[in-house]
Amino acid sequence: MSLRAAAAGTFPGTDLRRAAELLTAETPSPHLAALPELPQRGHHATLLGRATAQLSELFGELTSYGWRLTQRPGADHLRAAQLLRADVDTLADVRGERAETYGEEPSPLKLEVLGPVSLAAQLALPSGEKVLVDHGARRDLAESLAAGMASHVEHVRRACASQTLSVVLSETRYGRVRRGEVPTVSGYRTIRSLPRDETRVMIGVVVEALRAAGADEVILDLGETPQAEHVEDFRGREASRVEGLGLPVTTLGGAAWEQVAELTESGTQWLAGMLQPHETGRETLPQVSSLAARLTEPWQALGMPASSLDSFLLTTFCGTDRERPGAPGTAGLDETSTLRTLTRVLGTAEALTEQINS
């Protein structure tokens, strides 16, 4: 029995091939490599740019206020689409070269994609207002994204020859959408909250498409500790059920750990963000023993068996932590620090595996 760790995917710099080589080398099986995201290459290379490029029969262009929908594919849409396809092919080449050179089986792969609710909160209509304000546009966007993501997943599976493919659906703006905290394009007011039934259906459409396209598991990262509403909607409903949820370990209190334990017993998997953004320096990065204790201490206090820790897939950051200054891909964390944090989390997974099996 072994705990797995996953590369976060977001990486500093502008050289996709180098990022793919480093992340692939650092995450041998059973750990999960990732399709790198290099935000420093510009808007076309971010999760938002990639999601816009994946839309089926809808197109985007860049404006002074970000991406907006347009009538036909222009230079921005084509550039983002071509860049994403080239990124997948580059990762496939790197994995193939390692297989030939070292005789390694390609490791499992993690693919992070932007979810439909968070996309609607960031993408604008041709008029300039957020897609979030228009019911019909929200429905069309979710269906378009589902179709486009299915094609993307099929391309990744075909090109990268992964043992398994885990898709992380990033919905870091989900809570703000549900609470009515997303500002209008002017910034003078906020867009009213979306009904829970609608956000569940939007995500469910995409989850079903991902699974049909060959995703072995879908993990929903809501950018915050899962609440009862989230559990009911995305673990209790067949049409929108995911295998796992994102879990910012460093923010959990006692009551939250009790819920995590209960859900683990019912089969929930967890993408466990083990670090806070300020814990990335040589002096501030916790030791393996300290990181391991962030899981083992609350687990033991609840009387949970150590063997059930294999429900946790460890990563450096999850949720909104990956977007804050100091996280990978921002000016605050360079290549050396990014690899140092990944190595520390991998070491934590291996140390916990030894504890479980001893």
Question: 281-288 contacts: CB < 8 A, separation 24 or more?
Answer: 281/337, 282/337, 282/340, 285/340, 285/341, 285/344, 286/344, 287/344, 288/344, 288/347, 288/348, 288/351
Q: Which of 197, 215, 242 delimits the end of a domain?
A: 242
User: Strand, coil or helix: what is 137?
Assistant: helix
pLDDT category of residue 321 using cuts at 50, 70 and 90: low
Judge if 237 and 255 occupy the same domain. no
The whole model's pTM is what? 0.95
The answer to whether the Cα torsion of 97, 100, 104, 105 is positive or negative is: positive
Q: Give the model confidence (pLDDT) of 66-80 as tens digits.
A: 999 999 999 999 999
Judge if 337 and 299 occupy the same domain. yes
DSSP letters of 60-74?
Answer: EEEETTEEEEESS--
Averaged pLDDT, 51-62: 98
Judge if 67 and 191 occupy the same domain. yes
Q: Give the model confidence (pLDDT) of 156-212 as tens digits.
A: 999 998 889 999 999 999 999 999 999 998 888 999 999 999 999 999 999 999 999
- The amino acid at 269: Q
Question: 20 in a domain, yes or no?
Answer: no
Domains of the chain: total: 2
Judge if 8 and 73 occupy the same domain. no
Judge if 235 and 150 occupy the same domain. yes
Judge if 107 and 237 occupy the same domain. yes
Q: Which of 191, 220, 242 delimits the end of a domain?
A: 242
Which DSSP helix (H) or strand (E) runs through 194? none
Judge if 276 and 225 occupy the same domain. no
Angle of CA points 176, 264, 26, to nearest 5°: 80
Domain that holds residue 46: 42-242
Judge if 31 and 144 occupy the same domain. no
Question: 19 in a domain, yes or no?
Answer: no
Contacts of residue 298, Cβ cutoff 8 Å, sequence gap at least 6: 252, 254, 257
Judge if 172 and 63 occupy the same domain. yes
* Mean pLDDT of all residues belonging to the chain: 94
Judge if 133 and 56 occupy the same domain. yes
DSSP letters of 36-53?
Answer: -B-GGG-GGGSHHHHHHH
Judge if 111 and 190 occupy the same domain. yes
| Cβ-contact 242, 218 below 8 angstroms | yes
Judge if 226 and 125 occupy the same domain. yes
Q: Which of 242, 259, 277 delimits the end of a domain?
A: 242
